[in-house]
Structure 1
């Protein structure tokens, strides 16, 4: 994994660029969105964009991830229980899925044919979420809520990402917060050894 160059942009300027990237993605789609378009829309140089984000794929995925998390990220989730942490994480994920459904669907199609985008998606979107799950489970194990021999963060991510992808296919509806919390209660928590919510 390559080292990231320290940001030379202010937080406000970075957020402005990332919001513009999502607007451009809605207008043009992934394939025809270029760094030239981003540079023009945001009055930036391409050199600045590449120095900050390295590639179009990373820029778009960072923008998408930032849109789905609070300013400090999801690392602030610590309710004092595994159940509470997972439910809060899924509430945020469900809100993000509904709010950005069109963008996520368009990117999902691109992931199947674009290796660079897929690898960057894993690094920017998936792996940080798995690490967050790991932190939640480790805290729960330390508190004695769950056994260390339960499902791994990767295995739990299969359940939850499967729910996000599967609901539109099976029901024609997005995996909103209520649905993902219900999946957490009925699938994930029992697998971890806790009772499902009544």
Structure 2
């Protein structure tokens, strides 16, 4: 994939951009990443392919930006005064219906990522790295407050634990991840591994 486009000039209004992203996600849910084409996106959104390529460079960046747009922006502003409070607040940013939709969507994208290096690059640059940065800041605050030891061996695997609980809920239990499940998982698994008493 060519370098992620960060300096393209937008000729699309925010309202039109949001409408287009919604349509891309609808198509993605209908046909999956591999079968999704720029022709189909252009038809669904009543856009020209030239406009789509000029604005987003290609399918991978357009899809990942659509996913990013659908996620709440408030995670980097969360600071409840405790790690448990911060993590619970992140989970509560999305309701159960949204958790279920996002879980199914991300499973499909994760499968496609293995055969599409451009998709993997876009996911890393536009979605994963920014979220890692938010969680890193959250952890640094917890360390500064004395909640978590800086040398806790589980810190390295915190995000693996979080993603694992979210991703395997459907695989193991044939149920979507819900707020109640994710909060219980945090309190029973993630926080104890970090040395945080969930009852505190």
TM-score, normalised with respect to structure 2: 0.84
Give the one of 11, 14, 17 matched to 2:14.
11
Local SS of the residue matching 2:123: helix
Do 1:5 and 1:51's aligned partners in 2 also have CA atoms closer than 8 Å?
no
CA distance in 1, matches of 2:153, 2:65: 28
Gaps of 5+ in 2: none
Match of 2:45 in 1: 42
C-alpha displacement of 1:97: 2.9
Deviations along 1:152-171, one digit per CA (max 9) or x if unpaired, are 76521100111112222211
Match of 2:150 in 1: 148
Match of 1:91 in 2: 92
Match of 2:83 in 1: 82
Do 1:92 and 1:177's aligned partners in 2 also have CA atoms closer than 8 Å?
no
CA distance in 2, matches of 1:147, 1:17: 45
Do 1:134 and 1:153's aligned partners in 2 also have CA atoms closer than 8 Å?
no
Match of 1:126 in 2: 128
Match of 1:54 in 2: 57
Alignment of 1:24 with 2:27, yes or no, is: yes
Local SS of the residue matching 2:32: helix
Q: Give the aligned length.
A: 196
Local SS of the residue matching 2:93: helix
Do 2:154 and 2:193's aligned partners in 1 also have CA atoms closer than 8 Å?
no
Gaps of 5+ in 1: none
Deviations along 1:103-142, one digit per CA (max 9) or x if unpaired, are 3333233233333323322333322222111010112222
Match of 1:110 in 2: 112
